[in-house]
Amino acid sequence: MNLKKINLPEINFVETRKITYIISLVLVIGSILTILFNKGFNLGIDFTGGIVLQVHFEKDVKIEQLRDVMNSLGYKNAVIQKYGTENDFLIKVQENFEKVQDTTGPVVVGFSTYPNPTKGEKNLTVKVKVYDEKSPVKNIFIRSDIFKEIKELTPSDIYDSREEVGVLNFSLDDFKNDSLVTLYAFGVDRTNNKGLEKEIKIFVCSKNADITKVQVVSDWQDTTYKASSKGVELSPTEKIISLLKERFIEENPRVDREEVVGAIMSKELQLKSLWVVLLGLVGILICVWIRFTFRFGVASVIALFHDVIITLGFLTITGREMSVQIIAALLTLIGYSINDSIIVSDRIRENLKLMRKDNFSTIVNKSLNQVLSRTLITSLTTLFVVFMLFLFGGKVLNDFAFALLVGVIVGTYSSDFIVAPLVLDWEIKKPSKKRG
């Protein structure tokens, strides 16, 4: 069955435009009032700054237990909700803190060797101490021309704090006797920042050689380092994760998602999101103006504002969270809606040439009815896919799909009942030119 050949009833779009204007005006004003009375949008972590953790437990955990953990850390306003399965939770903390920025690696602050290679020993142990002001140490390495590859030092316990000691054992049999060997030690922290290399110079002599004066130390000395008795200063996310693992040992918590957005970044996202939408609308106005006329461009942009505001109103009244995903949905909506408006405008332009003897109202009405079947087929197939996404896409895509559901319905409506009627009223009040 060819859906395009289904005979749809003729709709008098021109005669009903005053009613649709009123409906649109009520929806737009209602959306604006909803946003104002709600004191703005329900901004998510992307726009306010904060932490998002998605945590999975192998055994049952109650929300009240997680609430106690967050309260003990001082996050009494944390949002905790089920996410997916019964053992998956989403934890949100909206705070104006910045994620720790660490761009420097650990500093090598000391070393020692044993036994003394100047006494003719065949084996050597080098112990290196490193320190990092911000992050725990991840590894300590030594490289040298005498090694084929960089060697990793064995930690004295495990690498888990800002002050660590590593040990390396190797044989001196292959080294040249009576020579000065240079080792280059450096550390790497948990954020994979490499620290500056420090030289360690060791004199290797012949066995039983009579050496009275030899340099067995490197040519550097750190005078600024002070050993810290404090443990690692954990970031807010690390504190939460650490306490969860401590409180729920048997439940074996696993962090599947971790997001930290600082206040500065969230402000930038707000500004950039606004500019993206506004520049998109300006670009559409220019494109439609060039393709058709300035009147069609203005009417199309007014319809897009109409679609976006009503969609935002529905998002606000349903308590949906404003996030980067919603901005993506709005941009998708703008693209979808303007595509439908261009189809209508293109048909009107074609009929202006074919129906020269008819008045503009008749042409508009005829054009809208001619593309009605196409509009319905496109909208219904799109709605079906988006509705499936809304039902089965999971929590991550639910808000995105909801915004598209509302947007596609409103966008389809505005393309037929707003764009062309606005151009018609503009033409009636101020005709563009006479048609022969």
Mind listing the pLDDT tens digit of every residue in the chain (436 residues)? 454 555 666 777 778 888 988 999 999 999 999 888 887 777 776 666 678 888 888 888 888 888 888 888 888 777 787 777 778 888 888 765 554 556 678 888 888 777 766 666 777 788 888 888 777 888 999 988 877 888 898 887 777 788 888 998 877 776 666 677 788 899 998 878 888 888 888 777 765 544 433 334 443 444 444 444 444 456 677 778 888 888 888 888 888 887 776 554 556 666 776 777 777 777 777 877 777 678 888 888 888 888 889 999 998 888 887 777 888 888 888 888 888 788 888 888 888 788 877 788 888 888 888 888 888 888 889 889 989 988 887 776 888 889 999 989 998 888 888 888 888 888 888 876 655 4
Neighbouring CB atoms inside 10 A of 74's CB total 12
Helix, strand, or coil (residue 55): strand
Query: In the numeric block, which tokens belong to residue 225?
Result: 């380092």
DSSP state of 43: B
Helix, strand, or coil (residue 238): helix
| Contact indicator for 98, 263 with CB cutoff of 8 Å | yes
Report domain extents, the chain.
Answer: 3-44+262-429, 51-93, 107-204
| Contact indicator for 312, 383 with CB cutoff of 8 Å | no
Q: Which CATH entry fits the domain spanning 107-204: 3.30.300.30, 3.90.550.10, 2.60.40.650, 3.40.640.10? A: 2.60.40.650
First to last CA, the chain: 41
Query: In the numeric block, which tokens belong to residue 174?
Result: 């292959």
Helix, strand, or coil (residue 343): helix
pLDDT of residue 102: 60
**Structural fold of domain 3-44+262-429:** Multidrug efflux transporter AcrB transmembrane fold (1.20.1640)
pLDDT of residue 28: 92
Residues whose CB falls within 8 Å of the CB of residue 90, separated by 6 or more in sequence, listed in order? 52, 53, 54, 79, 80, 81, 82, 83, 395
How far lies 322's CA from each of 45, 173, 319, 332, in Å? Answer: 9, 67, 9, 15
pLDDT of residue 95: 66
Query: In the numeric block, which tokens belong to residue 8?
Result: 């749809």
Rounded Cα distance between 140 and 425, Å, is: 76
Global pTM value: 0.58
Rounded Cα distance between 413 and 255, Å, is: 44
What type of residue sits at position 322?
A: M
Q: Which residues pair with 92 in a beta bridge?
A: 52, 79
Rounded Cα distance between 362 and 318, Å, is: 40
Rounded Cα distance between 17 and 417, Å, is: 6
Bridging pattern class, strands 179-189 and 123-131? unpaired
pLDDT of residue 26: 93
